[in-house]
Amino acid sequence: MRASDLVLAATLCLSLLIAGTAPPAKAMTFSVLTEPDGTRIVLAQGPVADGDAARLGVALQSADRDAAGYKVLALDSPGGAIVEAFAMVGVMDREKVATVVRTNATCASACAQILFLSGAHRTIEGNGRLGLHSCHTAGDRSRSVACNELIAQNAMARGTPYTSIMVFLHLTSPTQMKWLGAAEAGPLGFTRKPSDVPQVTSAYRM
């Protein structure tokens, strides 16, 4: 399923994935960090809100590509609007992006279930954590089966086993959060080594 189709389906679903009880008032902030080897990556912090896809696209223009040819997006977010998260996935697909949750960072809800799992290769460093729970409707916060299926299909299309993500979406309520570190996330297929994905063609390395 294409990212544009996911955005449309998410819009029709009219659901939010958030860690709090209301849509976030503030948007994500994007900054460019320079790694010890000189490679520039993008750090995304804060809740996902309207307009973040466009801001991500701008920020990624300043990022370098790693050895496999991907731009790296570091995530530290409680989640946010699902429609905008899928719009960000469209940008990530276009720019060929890998994802990482760094030490002392957390990536929960839409951040974990949509953004992180949409990275070409995916890493959790140190004590970084993913937070997962069921998608819910914007009104009464009841479990949204359609939204959960949308998220699971997106994750599966990017290398995460369907059952691995769906078990958390099905068994964890919208008001709970299941936290996973690297040791728990790896065997479930949530993380992915650069060697497990195709290298980006030279056209994207220019």
Alpha carbon 183 to chain centroid distance?
19
78 closest CA partner among 51, 116, 46: 46
Q: pTM value? A: 0.86
Which range among 21-30, 70-79, 109-118 shows the weakest confidence by mean pLDDT?
Answer: 21-30
| CA quadruple 120, 135, 133, 155: dihedral, nearest 10 | -20
Q: Which residues pair with 136 in a beta bridge?
A: 16, 143
Using the structure block, give the residue that is written with the tokens 């902030």.
29
- Torsion sign across C-alpha atoms 159, 100, 164, 167: negative
Which stretches of the chain are assigned E, i.e. beta strand? Answer: 15-16, 29-34, 40-45, 71-76, 97-101, 106-108, 122-124, 129-132, 136-137, 178-180
The answer to whether the beta carbons of residues 107 and 35 sit under 8 Å apart is no
Q: Which CATH class is domain 3-204?
A: alpha beta
- Torsion sign across C-alpha atoms 122, 11, 171, 127: positive
The Cα-based distances of 41 to 86, 98, 99, 126 in angstroms read 21, 10, 10, 18
Which range among 11-15, 43-47, 51-55, 66-70 shows the weakest confidence by mean pLDDT?
Answer: 11-15
Choose the most confident range, by mean pLDDT, from 4-8, 183-187, 191-195. 183-187
Total Cβ atoms within 10 A of residue 41: 22
What are the boundaries of each domain within the chain? 3-204
Distance separating alpha carbons of residues 49 and 152, to the nearest angstrom = 21
- Please name the residues in contact with 17: beta carbons below 8 A apart, sequence gap of 6 or more: 79, 80, 81, 82, 85, 109, 110, 113, 114, 135, 136, 147, 151
pLDDT tens digits, residue range 110-157? 999 999 999 999 999 999 999 999 987 766 677 888 899 999 999 999
Distance separating alpha carbons of residues 174 and 116, to the nearest angstrom = 19
**pLDDT value at position 31?**
97
